[in-house]
Amino acid sequence: MSHAFDLTLLLLLTASALAAIRTKDLLGAVVIFSTYSLLLCLIWQHRGAPDVAMTEAAVGAGVTTVLFLVAIGKTVRRER
């Protein structure tokens, strides 16, 4: 059961990474990337690493995403 759960998460993680790099809309890519960070966070929480999970949620999914959003706001939204 637990192994199946882990595997599903890993598959979702890979899928979201692929989706993030395939999306042409940068804003969409950043949002998918923050989903990716949150999935990673779930995996770590599940594996008994709550400290890392919490940091990833606050910093990886939170601060990083905000910084990306600011940068996209200051530049362009679509990739050519």
Partner 1 sequence: MKRALTAALLVLLALPLLYAVAQLPPHGSASSPPYTHVSPRYLERGPVEAGAENVVTDVILNYRGFDTNGEVTVIFTALAAVLAVLLGVRKDAGPVAGEPRAMSPVSPVVSFVVRLLAPFVALFAIYVILNGHVSPGGGFQGGAIIGALVIVTTVIVGRSQAEALVPARARRLLQAAAPLTFVCIGIAGLLMFGDYLAFPRVADLAWLRTAWLIAIEMGIGVGGAAIIATIFWTMGDE
Partner 2 sequence: MLGLLWTNIDYAASVGLFCIGLYCVITKNNLIKKFIGLNIMESAIFAFVVALGVVDGGDAPIMGAGARPPFTNPIPQALILTGIVVAVSTTALALSLIIRIYRQCGTIEADELREME
Positions in the binding site for partner 2 (CB under 8 A): 6-7, 10, 13-14, 17-18, 20-21, 26, 29-30, 33, 36-37, 40, 43-44, 47-52, 55-56, 59-60, 63-64, 67-68, 70-72, 74-76, 79-80
User: Positive or negative, the Cα torsion across 52, 43, 45, 68?
Assistant: positive
Based on the number of CB atoms within 10 Å of its own CB, is 75 exposed (0-12), middle (13-18) or buried (19 or more)?
Answer: exposed
Q: Does 50 bind partner 1 (CB under 8 A)?
A: yes
Tokens of 13: 């993680």
Q: How far is the CB of 32 from partner 1 (least distance, A)?
A: 20
